[in-house]
Structures are given as C-alpha cells and as structure tokens.
Amino acid sequence: MRRQRDAELAQLGVTGATPGQRLALSIVEGLILAVTAAVPGLLAFGFFAAYMYVGMTLAGYVAVISVPGTAWIAALVGTAVIMVAATVLPTIPAWRLPERLVVTRLVSE
C-alpha cells in the first residue's frame, strides 16, 4: 500500500502540486473517511435506541434514552483525529523522495 501511496503523491508532485497541497489532500481524505464512518454509526445508534425504547416500553418501564452532546462531539472529533493520522502519517516518508525517483520505480515494476 505504501508504494501505491508514494506513487499517487509523486504523480501529484509531477503535475505541479506543492507539498502543502499534497498534505492538504491527505488531511481532507481523512476527514472524508471520518464523516463517512459517522453516518453508519449514527444510523446504528438510531436503531439501537429505537430497539431499547420499544423493549423498555413493552416491559412496562419508562424509556428515557439520553446521550450528552459532548459525548457525540468527543466521539466525532476522536474519530476524525484517528482517521487523519491514519491517512497523513503513512505519507510522511513520501515527502522525502523526489518525484522522479518514485515515478521511475513505478514504471520499472
């Protein structure tokens, strides 16, 4: 996977992308993954809350399901930090390699 990532970043460098733009690309990719992961997570919680509400109501209990907003924010921010780190950290070695070398290796394989 690292070779593929190096090749992608080298190709961006060859086409004129600055190192800052390549870093921004990795950060945006991580944020897109975090938002994409949040959607099914929220749906799963919705189904769980509905299941608990119906089950507790049928059992004769008063159903109260409350999750603090800070817990939601902490979970989303934590997920975003992990995803950005997982997409940016593997690209650090690629910053040190000249684009010509990476493209030459890619072509020779």
Distance, in Å, from the CA atom of 10 to the CA atom of 100, rounded to the nearest integer, reads: 8
Q: CA-based Rg of the chain, rounded to a whole angstrom? A: 22
How far apart are the C-alpha atoms of 13 and 94, rounded to whole Å? 11
Angle at the Cα of 76 from the Cα atoms of 71 and 81, rounded to 5 degrees: 125
**Residue 18, by phi and psi: left (phi above 0), alpha (psi -120 to 50) or beta?**
beta
| pLDDT of the chain, 109 residues: tens digit per residue | 577 777 788 888 888 888 889 889 989 999 999 999 999 988 999 999 999 999 999 999 988 878 888 998 999 999 999 999 999 988 888 777 787 777 777 777 7
Domain region containing 99: 2-108
What is the predicted pLDDT for the residue at 77? 93
Residues 88 and 72: beta-carbon distance below 8 Å: no
State residue 101's pLDDT score.
Answer: 78
| Predicted TM-score of the model (pTM) | 0.74
According to the model, what pLDDT value does residue 104 have? 79
Kind and range of the H or E element at 8? helix 2-14
Model pLDDT, residue 51: 93
Number of domains in the chain: 1
Residue-level pLDDT at 1? 57
